[in-house]
Amino acid sequence: MSSTVVYLIVFVVSVVTVVCDHLSDSVLEQLMAINSYTKCRVDADCAKISDHTFCFGNDADKDGYCRCKENYDMVSRNKTFFACLGRASVMLGCTTPHLSDTGLKSIGPKFYATAGLGEKCEKNMQCQIVLTENSECANSVCRCKNGAHLYKDGRCYVSVLLGDFCRGSANCWLASNQFGNCVYGKCTCKFDNEVPGTDRMSCVHGKKIGEQCESDNQCSLTENTQCKTVCRCSPGFVMSRDQTRCLKAATRFNDVCLENDQCSASLQGSICLSNNCTCDIGFHSLDLKCVKTASFGGPCSNSEECVRDSSHLEVIHCNNGECQCKPGAVNETLGCTNRSNFIVQNSFVVILLGLVLKFL
């Protein structure tokens, strides 16, 4: 054998070895295709490369492409080689090239059987073809990866806790190998009368407002509730009239509301009018309550009725059942001036002087 042939053989062997050593599972996924790259005129052209094939798309004017027959999958390494395999096997890696007396004898694909859960394996891809990328070959046996589980369709899916994001119900694995539902992108219990358990991997019977309970999660059948021997609304929420919901209590006037109790729980005397917390006609808001409205100079029962802001109590008060300016207080906006104070302070003197003159 000439030295040139030997060098060529060594070079080819080295290249093949490097390619095989660096062939990863992610690359192997790309080897599966519907059609080969190999053109054909008749079925016999395909049969020269692999069994279980036929020429697809060929006619009198154009070539077709080799395709696998039904129940066979194509595994393609390059544009000149492919194999049609029964769906129980897949090509992975390369065989080690070996030499004969005349030089390079064979370089070909190596085939591994695909494997299901618990079956023997050598490569991750053997498992992942059947069980999805959420599986692996560990200790020569196919299994679901940590954090994944086997679903009833025979494939591995990422496990998601109740209440967390999910792509489908297959993610919502529960204890005792049960499954929840994926609703609006979140794992939920399968039945409407169930709620997540404390471990978020099981479902327990939910309790309604007013029913006896042992833990807060039992009350989560209704939002914004807590367990205090019985299920009740959490602080900052009030029970609806139909006792089926906990509504957010208003914290200030003009907060959005649906029912009066949302307003009156924190804002004394307030009502829900046009979906906003406000005071009824004839009343005005002062701090966190509604008080009867009295006009300046009009009758009153307390000073709060005379003002619209608590700071105005320094200027106006209810004196002898009438809203008046306080002695010496000046606020022209509220109608309290030096003149008005003078009139208020001396009103009794004027009345007394009038009575004296009347009897003279």
Of 113, 137, 154, the one marking the end of a domain is: 113
Q: From the DSSP assignment, how many helices (H) and strands (E) are in the chain? A: 7, 30
- At 241-255, the pLDDT tens digits run 999 999 999 999 999
Give, in order, the Cα–Cα distances in Å from 339 to each of 159, 304, 328, 330.
Answer: 81, 24, 10, 9
Whether 144 is covered by a domain: the verdict is no
Pair 209, 239: CB distance under 8 Å: yes
Which CB contacts under 8 angstroms, 24+ apart, belong to 202-209? 202/174, 202/175, 202/176, 203/162, 203/174, 207/231, 208/244, 209/233, 209/239, 209/243, 209/244, 209/246
Whether 354 is covered by a domain: the verdict is no
Q: Which stretch of 111-115, 173-177, 203-207, 257-261 has the lowest confidence by average pLDDT?
A: 111-115
Residue 59's pLDDT band (boundaries 50, 70, 90)?
low
How confident is the model at residue 330, as a pLDDT?
A: 83
How confident is the model at residue 68, as a pLDDT?
A: 81
Is residue 320 pLDDT above 60, yes or no? yes
Is residue 3 pLDDT above 90, yes or no? no
Range of the domain at 336: 260-344
Whether 194 is covered by a domain: the verdict is no
Give, in order, the Cα–Cα distances in Å from 201 to each of 135, 160, 208.
Answer: 21, 9, 21
Of 85, 113, 141, the one marking the end of a domain is: 113
Whether 249 is covered by a domain: the verdict is no
Whether 190 is covered by a domain: the verdict is no
Residue 173's pLDDT band (boundaries 50, 70, 90)?
very high
Give the C-alpha separation, 242 to 85, whole Å.
Answer: 65
The residue to which tokens 């009139």 are assigned: 343
Residue 92's pLDDT band (boundaries 50, 70, 90)?
low
CB neighbours of residue 214 within 10 Å: 11
**Who's near 46: CB < 8 A, 6+ residues apart?**
36, 38, 40, 53, 54, 55, 66, 67
How confident is the model at residue 101, as a pLDDT?
A: 39
More confident residue, 334 or 59: 334
Pair 97, 136: CB distance under 8 Å: no
Is residue 5 pLDDT above 50, yes or no? no
Whether 243 is covered by a domain: the verdict is no
Residue 258's identity, in one-letter code, is: L
Q: Please, which residues bridge with residue 157 across strands?
A: 149
Tokens (6 digits) for 181? 């539902």
List helix spans (H) across the chain: 3-21, 25-29, 43-47, 124-131, 216-219, 260-264, 338-359
Whether 304 is covered by a domain: the verdict is yes
When divided into structural domains, the chain yields a total of 2
Whether 172 is covered by a domain: the verdict is no
